[in-house]
Structure 1
Amino acid sequence: MKKHISFRFAIPLILASFFCSSLSAQSVLEKYEKETIYLSYNNYSYIKNGQKHWAGFFGKHLKKEMEVSPDAVIEFDRYQKKSITSFWMVMGAGAIYVSGVLLAQERDEYDALSGSMVLAGTGLMIASIPLTINSMKHYNKAIWLRNRDVLR
């Protein structure tokens, strides 16, 4: 008799827990679809709630979305600093490289200055690659942290 009574209470409790867990999973999924963001294929835009938004230069418009999470704000600031530094390195490298090429064309003979400028521009361009890769890691981590904290 005692076993029969415990099964009577156990079955409704088990069914109720399955029902509640499916409801909470449904609400988490709805919140996930509505509140989280993900990058578009080109990283210049992002998708939120099914709508495409322009991220802006160096994520200027995306910065507002990061305010949900303090950790994401810190990571996003790291992305912006490294990305801006990388951008100016590439611009400087291009200017030095082009100056070296133009200087070499104006002179009749190849000299060390123009060759050095071309090499310096190339070297600076290559040196910016790890910084760019590192900045994108911070960008993706900031979005991941933001999405994590939105679901809490």
Structure 2
Amino acid sequence: MVAIIYLLITLVTFLFMEVVTWCTHKFVMHGFLWTLHADHHEPKYPHIFEKNDTFFVIFAIPSIALFYFGVSPTLNYLFFIGLGVLLYGMAYFLVHDVLIHQRFKWFNNVKNKYLLALRKAHKIHHKNMGKEDGECFGMLLVPKKYFR
């Protein structure tokens, strides 16, 4: 029974991270930390990293802290919240950096309708080069109109 509860905590955290991502992207990245995110909306330059990659570190810190406090003094629910955050971060990396922006050429010939809709929605997000008037701030939930 405890294993099922921990699995549910991990799953709910993973799903809740989509809400956190949307809010953080809209109000933080396109808000007061635009200086870190702006280069992600600019035409690509020949650097391996962007200032925007700082957000991977920013999001890793709470996950690491949750793992740390989730095993002290014994394994507890915080560990599984940290696991949900970590799994979402891994999914984010695969979807955003590998699939959408193709920073690594692992998925070149994608034909899946959902994955193509993800790409389309993100392309619309990047169509706006500025801080304001953006759309599609999440990652995994795609509005129906992008499936056409």
User: Do the structures match in fold with TM over 0.5?
Assistant: no
Alignment TM-score, normalising by the size of structure 1: 0.30
Higher helix share: 1
Which of these two proteins has the greater Rg computed from alpha carbons? 1
- Normalising by structure 2, report the TM-score: 0.30
Higher relative contact order (CA 8 A, sep 6+): 2
Instruction: Say which structure is richer in strand.
Output: 1
